[in-house]
């Protein structure tokens, strides 16, 4: 049984490099109203810092909701955790308790957990299985999610296999998610917004940042994104040190199987035509459509006047 204590919220800092969003959306407002009515039902888990304050391990959303509910304190369980234990606990609790997890969040979380497990394997003072089983209780107590686990380290499994097994993904899927960390922020945002497919994004992650920038501009002007086959071609050209602006443009202009026919535009002709306020592909498409509609309306008006 763990002691629950009320801690001043201002003394609790966020977990370093916390990979998950904590935003004030509709679900957050529902949590705020619940806390106002019933208080924080599930205590957060924190670990003590040398300066007398605490670091949040599990409970970032509850912390923000408590602040929005004008609470000064929140109930917490204080535990002494190594960096690796805290990271594994933070990732597992969020992955099992959150409903909507973005690909970018999953990518960062998987990498953090994988690094933590590998670092544990390198330590000469590894904790016993009893110690790890104790950490399991920190997640499972106070939650209805029966799938929440923090398994003892099994040296017979590869680290990526351990992560995948615990999260319900294959080792290969874990590796693919981690590859997303090599995307430039703008393209990673497109993955989160479902503008680029997961598998094409994995292949794009093998391009240099310079070529990813070129690809980003090409996608903006052609109003298209690479299919998996096209992304694999780009990766191959990159590996052969052949990739350049012209090849990227050429690959993007290739027809995709079963795609609806699209109007192809010369990106260079439109480079200085779009207003600077227009940035996304959808905005460019809407702008072109609006211009065509206005053009047609003018011609209709002229025809009537004749």
Answer yes or no: do 147 and 124 share one domain.
Answer: yes
Task: Say yes or no to pLDDT of 138 above 60.
Answer: no
pLDDT tens figures, 29-86: 999 999 999 999 999 999 999 999 999 999 999 999 999 999 999 999 999 999 999 9
> Quick one: DSSP state of residue 276?
T
Are residues 256 and 190 both part of a single domain? yes
- 162 and 97 in a common domain: yes
Report in angstroms the alpha-carbon separations of 266 from 86, 234, 237, 250, 270.
Answer: 51, 19, 22, 11, 7
Residue 144: strand, helix, or coil: coil
What pLDDT is stored for residue 150 in this prediction?
A: 41
pLDDT at 128 over 50: no
The residue from 60, 80, 100 where one domain ends is 80
Contact 252, 218 (CB under 8 A): yes
Q: Work out the mean pLDDT of the chain and round it to a whole number.
A: 82
Beta strands in 144-235 (DSSP E): none
d(CA 248, CA 258): 21
Number of domains in the chain: 4
pLDDT surpasses 60 at 271: yes
- CATH number, domain containing residue 28: 3.90.1530.30
Q: Are residues 68 and 90 in the same domain?
A: no
At 171, list the tokens: 């080792």
Q: Answer for the pair 146, 95: CB distance below 8 angstroms, yes or no.
A: no
What is the rounded distance in angstroms from the CA atom of residue 260 to the CA atom of residue 74?
54
Please indicate, yes or no, whether residues 123 and 62 belong to a single structural domain of this protein. no
Same domain (yes/no): 148, 227: no
pLDDT at 155 over 80: no
**Residue 40, number of CB atoms within 10 A of its CB:** 21
- Contact criterion met (CB below 8 Å) for 218 and 247: no
Are residue 107 and residue 142 in the same domain, yes or no? yes
- Could you read off the pLDDT of 203-236 as tens digits, one per residue? 999 999 999 999 999 998 888 899 999 999 999 9
Q: Which two tokens stand for residue 219?
A: 């996608």
E strand residue ranges, 51-127: 54-58, 73-78
Q: Cα separation of 59 and 55, whole Å?
A: 10
Q: Which domain holds residue 154?
A: 81-182
Asked if 131 and 81 touch (Cβ cutoff 8 Å), the reply is no
Cα distances (angstroms) measured from residue 175 to each of 33, 199, 205: 39, 12, 12
Domain limit, last residue, from 163, 182, 201: 182
Does residue 147 share a domain with residue 86? yes
Which pLDDT tens digit goes with each residue over 64-74? 999 999 999 99
265 — pLDDT class (breaks 50, 70, 90): low
Among the three residues 137, 154, 182, which one is the final residue of a domain in this structure? 182
Whether residue 75 is found in the same domain as residue 106: no
Do residues 92 and 159 both lie within one domain? yes
Cα-based distances in Å from 236 to 27, 150, 256:
43, 39, 18
Same domain, 165 and 131: yes
Partner residues linked to 55 by β-bridges: 13, 47
- Bigger pLDDT: 133 vs 242: 242
- For 58, phi then psi, to 5°, come to -140, 115
120 lies in the same domain as 57: no
């Amino acid at each position: 049984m763990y002691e629950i204590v009320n801690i001043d919220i201002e003394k609790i800092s966020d977990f370093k490099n916390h990979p998950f969003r904590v935003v004030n959306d509709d679900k957050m407002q529902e949590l705020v109203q619940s806390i106002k009515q019933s208080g924080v039902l599930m205590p957060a888990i924190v670990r003590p810092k040398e300066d007398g304050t605490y670091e949040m391990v599990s409970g970032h959303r509850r912390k923000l909701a408590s602040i929005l509910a004008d609470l000064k304190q929140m109930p917490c369980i204080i535990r002494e955790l190594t960096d690796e234990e805290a990271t594994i606990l933070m990732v597992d609790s969020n992955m099992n308790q959150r409903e909507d997890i973005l690909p970018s969040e999953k990518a960062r979380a998987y990498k953090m957990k994988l690094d933590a497990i590998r670092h544990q394997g390198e330590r000469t003072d590894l904790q016993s299985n009893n110690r790890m089983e104790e950490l399991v209780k920190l997640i499972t107590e106070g939650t209805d999610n029966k799938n929440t686990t923090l398994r003892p380290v099994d040296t017979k499994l590869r680290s990526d296999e351990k992560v995948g097994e615990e999260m319900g993904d294959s080792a290969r899927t874990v590796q693919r998610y981690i590859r997303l960390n090599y995307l430039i922020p703008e393209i990673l945002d497109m993955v989160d917004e479902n503008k680029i497919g997961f598998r094409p994004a994995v292949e794009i992650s093998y391009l240099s940042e310079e070529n990813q920038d070129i690809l980003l501009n090409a996608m903006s002007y052609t109003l298209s994104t690479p299919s998996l086959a096209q992304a694999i071609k780009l990766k191959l050209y990159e590996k052969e040190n052949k990739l350049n602006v012209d090849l990227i443009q050429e690959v993007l202009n290739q027809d995709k199987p079963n795609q609806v026919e699209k109007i192809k535009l010369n990106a260079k002709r439109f480079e200085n035509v779009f207003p600077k306020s227009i940035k996304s592909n959808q905005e460019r498409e809407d702008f072109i459509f609006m211009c065509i509609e206005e053009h047609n309306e003018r011609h209709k008006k002229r025809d009537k006047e004749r």
